[in-house]
Amino acid sequence: MSLLMHTLHVDLQERSYPVYIGRDVLSDPQLLARHVSGPQVVVVSNDTVAPLYMDKLRTALGERSLLTEVILPDGEAYKTLDTLASIFDQVMAAGHNRTTTFVALGGGVVGDITGFAAACYQRGVNFVQVPTTLLAQVDSSVGGKTAVNHPMGKNMIGAFYQPRAVLIDTNSLQTLPRRELAAGLAEVIKYGLICDEPFYRWLQEQLPKLLAREEAALAEAIERSCANKAQVVAADEREGGLRAILNLGHTFGHAIETRQGYGQWLHGEAVAVGMLLAVELSARRGLVPAAEVAALRELLLAAGLPVQPPPDMSPEIFIELMGRDKKVVDGRLRLILLAALGEACIVDDVTPGELQALLT
Ligand code: NAD
Ligand code: GLY
H or E segment and range at residue 345: strand 343-347
User: Which is it for strands 126-131 and 101-106: parallel, antiparallel or unpaired?
Assistant: parallel
Distance, in Å, from the CA atom of 148 to the CA atom of 152, rounded to the nearest integer, reads: 12
Q: Give the three-class secondary structure for 236.
A: coil
Distance, in Å, from the CA atom of 130 to the CA atom of 284, rounded to the nearest integer, reads: 41
Parse the chain into domains and list their residue ranges: 3-175, 178-359
Hey, whose CA ends up nearest to atom 5 of ligand 1?
A: 107
Residues 350 and 333: beta-carbon distance below 8 Å: yes
CATH number of 3-175: 3.40.50.1970
Q: Give the three-class secondary structure for 357.
A: helix
pLDDT digits (tens, 9 = 90+) for 15-47: 999 999 999 999 999 999 999 989 999 999 999
Indicate whether residue 130 lines ligand 1 (CB < 6 A): no
Cα(8) to centroid(ligand 1), Å? 22
So what's the pLDDT on residue 205? 98
Distance, in Å, from the CA atom of 198 to the CA atom of 217, rounded to the nearest integer, reads: 15
Active site residue 178: no
- Give the residues across from 42 on adjacent strands: 68, 102
pLDDT digits (tens, 9 = 90+) for 245-283: 999 999 999 899 888 876 689 999 999 999 999 999 999
Hey, whose CA ends up nearest to atom 44 of ligand 1?
A: 140
What are the φ and ψ backbone dihedral angles of 28, each rounded to 5 degrees?
-95, 105
Q: What does DSSP assign to residue 309?
A: -
Q: How many helices (H) and strands (E) does the chain have?
A: 13, 11
Active-site option among 76, 180, 223, 239: 239
Please tell me the class of the 178-359 domain.
mainly alpha
- Three-state helix/strand/coil letters over 116-133: HHHHHHHHCCEEEEEECC
pLDDT digits (tens, 9 = 90+) for 171-210: 999 999 999 999 999 999 999 999 999 999 999 999 999 9
Atom of ligand 2 at shortest range from CA of 139: 1
Which of 243, 254, 325 maximizes ligand 2 atoms within 8 Å of its Cβ, making it the mutation to test the pocket? 243
Indicate whether residue 154 lines ligand 2 (CB < 6 A): no
pLDDT digits (tens, 9 = 90+) for 121-167: 999 999 999 999 999 999 999 999 999 998 877 889 999 999 999 99
Cα(76) to centroid(ligand 1), Å? 8
Give the angle 31-32-38 at the CA atoms, nearest 5°: 130
pLDDT digits (tens, 9 = 90+) for 115-128: 999 999 999 999 99
Count how many Cα atoms sit within 13 Å of the Cα of residue 119 in the half-sphere of its side chain.
Answer: 19
Question: Among all ligands shown, which has an atom nearest to the Cα of 229?
Answer: 2
